[in-house]
C-alpha cells in the first residue's frame, strides 16, 4: 500500500477532517482576536480550560450542548481578563497571553485534582457521536469524510461561513476589522475601540475553548493532561497561513490535519519500517513551516496588530 492508496481511502479523509475540527475552532477564534488587533497567546491555555470545562460538565451529568456552552463561557471569562489587561491597560500582548496560558493550564490541572482526587485513569464520558447525513454521505470518499462527522465538526464549518459573513458583510465586522487596521479611524467615528477589541477577544477566546472541548467531547472522550499538546500554537501559525482570512485558515487546518493523518498511516507501511518514527511525527510540522514560508509572503497582516491604542495620542 503506498501513499496514493492512502489518499483515496475514505477513512483517511474522515480522520483528517476530525483532526482538523478543533484547529478550525481555535484558529477561527485567534483570527477574530487578531483581526481586531489583539494577538491572543492565551490560546493554548484557553483550549485546555475549554477541554476540561466541557468534559467536567458532562461528567457531572450535564448535557453535551450544555457542556459546549460552559466551555465557551469559561473561555470568554479568560478572554475578558486578557482583553482588559491588553486593551484599556495596554499591557504587552505577548506577556499577558503567555501568562494566561500558564495560569489557565495550571488552574485547570488543579481543578482536575480537586474534582477527581482519587482517580488514576481518566474516566470516559458519553461523547458526541457521528451524525450521518443521508444521501450526502453516500458520495464516494468525500461523503463519509465530510458528512459522517460529529455535530461539533459541522458546527466548525458553519462557524467559518458565519464569521466570514460577519467580518465582510456587516457594520460590526467592518468596525472590528478597522479596529485592527487603524483604531484611530474607528475612534474618529465615535465608536469605542476598547469595547470592540475586548468583545472580539472574548468571542475569539470562547471559540478557542470550544476547540479544546472538541478534544474531550468529540475525539478522546475523556480529559487528560497535555492533551492540547501545542495545538494552540499551531493555530497561531494557521492564521498567518490563512492570511487572516477564515476560508484560507480552514484550508490550512485541513491541510495540516491531512499531513498528520497521513504520517500515522505511512508509519504502518513497509516504508515506515526503515525510517525512525520521530521523522514521521515531525513531518506535519516541517511541512507546515514550509507551507507557511510560501503562503505568508503575500499575507496582509492587520496593520494595528499588537499596537495598543491610546485615545488622544497622535
**Where along the sequence are the contacts to other proteins (CB under 8 A)?**
169-172, 174-175, 177-178, 181-182, 184-186, 188-191, 300, 302-303, 314
Q: Considering the complex, what minimum distance in angstroms separates the CB of residue 4 from other proteins?
A: 40
- Residue 44 vs 181, nearer CB to other proteins: 181
Q: Considering the complex, what minimum distance in angstroms separates the CB of residue 39 from other proteins?
A: 16
Q: Considering the complex, what minimum distance in angstroms separates the CB of residue 186 from other proteins?
A: 7
Residue with cell 467615528: 189
- Residue 54 vs 242, nearer CB to other proteins: 242
What are the DSSP calls for 182-250, one per residue?
A: -HHHHHHTT--HHHHHHHHHHHHHHHHHHHHHHIIIIISSB--TT-STTHHHHHHHHHHHTTT-HHHHH
- Residue 25 vs 309, nearer CB to other proteins: 309
- Residue 31 vs 262, nearer CB to other proteins: 31
- Residue 77 vs 186, nearer CB to other proteins: 186
d(CA 68, CA 151): 11
Q: Considering the complex, what minimum distance in angstroms separates the CB of residue 191 from other proteins?
A: 5
Torsion of CA 49, 52, 54, 55, to 10 degrees: 170
Q: Considering the complex, what minimum distance in angstroms separates the CB of residue 312 from other proteins?
A: 8
Beta-carbon contacts of residue 175 (< 8 Å; ≥ 6 apart): 186, 191, 196
- Residue 140 vs 171, nearer CB to other proteins: 171
Q: Could you list the beta-strand ranges (E) of 102-142.
A: 131-132
- Residue 124 vs 169, nearer CB to other proteins: 169
Alpha helices in 242-276 (DSSP H): 246-267, 270-274
d(CA 95, CA 240): 20
Q: What is the DSSP letter of 124?
A: B
First-to-final CA distance of the chain = 64
d(CA 18, CA 303): 33
Which letter, b or e, does each residue of 107-137 get, where b requires 16 or more Cβ atoms within 10 Å of its Cβ? ebeeebeeeeeeeeebeebebbebeeeeeeb
Q: Considering the complex, what minimum distance in angstroms separates the CB of residue 301 from other proteins?
A: 8
For 258, the grid coordinates are: 491531512
Q: Considering the complex, what minimum distance in angstroms separates the CB of residue 180 from other proteins?
A: 8
- Residue 111 vs 174, nearer CB to other proteins: 174
Q: Considering the complex, what minimum distance in angstroms separates the CB of residue 57 from other proteins?
A: 30
d(CA 43, CA 92): 16
* Neighbouring-strand partners of residue 201: none
Amino acid at each position: 500500500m503506498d501513499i496514493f492508496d492512502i489518499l483515496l481511502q475514505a477513512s483517511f479523509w474522515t480522520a483528517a477532517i476530525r483532526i482538523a475540527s478543533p484547529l478550525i475552532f481555535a484558529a477561527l477564534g485567534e483570527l477574530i482576536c487578531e483581526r481586531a488587533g489583539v494577538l491572543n497567546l492565551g490560546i493554548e491555555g484557553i483550549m485546555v480550560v475549554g477541554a476540561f470545562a466541557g468534559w467536567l460538565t458532562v461528567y457531572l451529568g450535564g448535557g453535551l450542548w450544555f457542556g459546549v456552552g460552559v466551555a465557551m463561557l469559561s473561555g470568554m471569562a479568560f478572554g475578558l481578563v486578557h482583553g482588559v489587561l491588553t486593551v484599556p491597560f495596554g499591557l504587552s500582548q505577548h506577556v499577558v497571553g503567555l501568562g494566561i496560558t500558564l495560569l489557565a493550564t495550571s488552574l485547570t490541572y488543579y481543578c482536575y485534582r480537586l474534582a477527581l482526587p482519587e482517580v488514576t485513569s481518566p474516566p470516559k464520558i458519553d461523547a458526541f457521536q457521528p451524525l450521518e447525513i443521508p444521501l450526502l454521505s453516500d458520495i464516494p470518499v468525500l461523503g463519509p469524510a465530510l458528512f459522517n462527522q460529529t455535530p461539533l465538526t459541522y458546527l466548525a464549518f458553519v462557524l467559518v461561513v458565519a464569521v466570514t459573513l460577519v467580518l465582510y458583510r456587516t457594520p460590526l465586522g467592518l468596525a472590528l476589522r478597522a479596529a485592527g487596521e487603524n483604531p484611530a479611524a474607528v475612534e474618529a467615528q465615535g465608536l469605542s475601540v476598547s469595547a470592540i477589541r475586548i468583545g472580539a477577544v472574548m468571542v475569539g477566546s470562547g471559540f478557542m475553548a470550544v476547540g479544546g472541548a472538541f478534544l474531550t467531547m468529540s475525539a478522546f472522550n475523556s480529559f487528560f493532561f497535555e492533551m492540547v499538546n501545542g495545538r494552540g500554537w499551531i493555530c497561531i501559525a494557521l492564521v498567518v497561513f490563512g492570511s487572516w482570512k477564515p476560508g484560507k485558515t480552514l484550508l490550512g487546518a485541513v491541510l495540516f490535519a491531512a499531513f498528520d493523518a497521513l504520517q500515522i498511516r505511512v508509519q504502518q507501511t513497509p516504508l515506515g519500517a526503515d525510517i525512525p518514527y520521530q521523522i514521521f511525527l515531525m513531518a506535519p510540522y516541517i511541512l507546515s513551516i514550509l507551507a507557511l514560508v510560501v503562503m505568508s509572503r503575500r499575507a496582509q497582516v492587520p496593520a494595528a496588530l499588537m499596537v495598543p491604542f491610546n485615545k488622544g495620542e497622535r
